[in-house]
Amino acid sequence: MTGLTLYVGNKNYSSWSMRPWIAMTAAGIDFEDVVIPFDFAAGNPDIRVVSPTGKVPLLRHGDMLVWESLAIIEYVAELYPDAGLWPADRLARARARSYSMEMLSGFRALRGACPMNVRREKRALEADAAVRADVARIEQIWKEALAQSGGPFLFGAFSAADAMYAPVVNRFDAYDLVADPGTLGYMERVKALPAFRKWEEAARAEPWIVLEDEI
């Protein structure tokens, strides 16, 4: 056992939890997976007990706590330098981090209008201009990264950048937002990852329904 515990929210809805979970799982890093389901109406007081921000994901490593999805990925990448969480090339790594930060700080229209919902039956959403602009920028990012690396993932092998965009794969799919063959091909490759499937399977088995995320 590595002594790492990752606290995550509902696998059906918690897109921020999915990012470090999928990065660590795809990289073969062993950790204890603890689900603390959230309820938007009431909040879940159990999250506050472990998390200084009252949010998940949260990583515990001995006495050390790390919060914020990307900070968790960075911490684990330093613990396991050979796991290939970031591209080996310095310039590629800088681009992977730029794209990852762009995800962390942006795409609010898409995130707000189309919450991640693994169980959602594919149904088209009437996207407004702001959502369409977010979708277009993400498609551009994927296209340019795949063209530069040659694929199959954004930087060749699966990396933290793919993990940061993994919940978008669900959103594009569930709300039927994209039609470009290159985009769809990348999504299929992400969806075929054992780590992605494992997360989906756990999400489907969850009993909790968060009405605000059922669009």
Ligand X SMILES: N[C@@H](CCC(=O)N[C@@H](CS)C(=O)NCC(=O)O)C(=O)O
User: What does the binding site for ligand X look like in residue numbers (CB under 6 A)?
Assistant: 9, 14-17, 38, 43, 47, 54-57, 68-69, 104
CA distances to 75, 83, 123 from 20, in Å: 10, 13, 27
Nearer to ligand X, 17 or 117 (CB): 17
What is the Cα–Cα distance from 124 to 132, expressed in whole angstroms?
13
- The nearer residue to ligand X, 14 or 183, going by C-beta atoms, is 14
Cβ 8 to ligand X, closest distance in Å? Answer: 9
Between CA 20 and CA 28, with CA 26 as vertex, the angle to 5 degrees is 105
CA–CA separation, 123 vs 97, rounded Å? 32
> In terms of CB distance, is 117 or 149 closer to ligand X?
117
Q: How far is the CB of 196 from ligand X (least distance, A)?
A: 17
Instruction: Say whether the peptide bond before residue 167 is cis (omega within 30 degrees of 0).
Output: no
Residue closer to ligand X, measured from CB, 58 or 146: 58
Q: DSSP string spanning 150-161? A: -SSBTBBB--HH
Which C-beta is closer to ligand X: that of 159 or that of 183? 159
Please identify, using beta-carbon distances, which residue of 56 and 113 lies nearer to ligand X.
Answer: 56
Measured from the CB of residue 57, what is the shortest distance to ligand X in angstroms?
5
Please provide the distance, in angstroms rounded to a whole number, between the alpha carbons at the two ends of the chain: 39
Can you say how many angstroms the Cα of residue 175 is from the centroid of all Cα atoms in its chain? 17
Count Cβ atoms below 10 Å from residue 65 Cβ, excluding itself.
Answer: 15
Taking CB atoms, the residue at the shortest distance from ligand X is: 55
Q: In whole angstroms, how close is the CB of 41 to ligand X at the nearest point? A: 10
Helix ranges (DSSP H) in the chain: 15-26, 45-50, 69-79, 90-105, 108-113, 129-149, 160-174, 181-191, 194-204
- Min CB(123)–ligand X separation in Å: 22
Q: How far is the CB of 141 from ligand X (least distance, A)?
A: 18
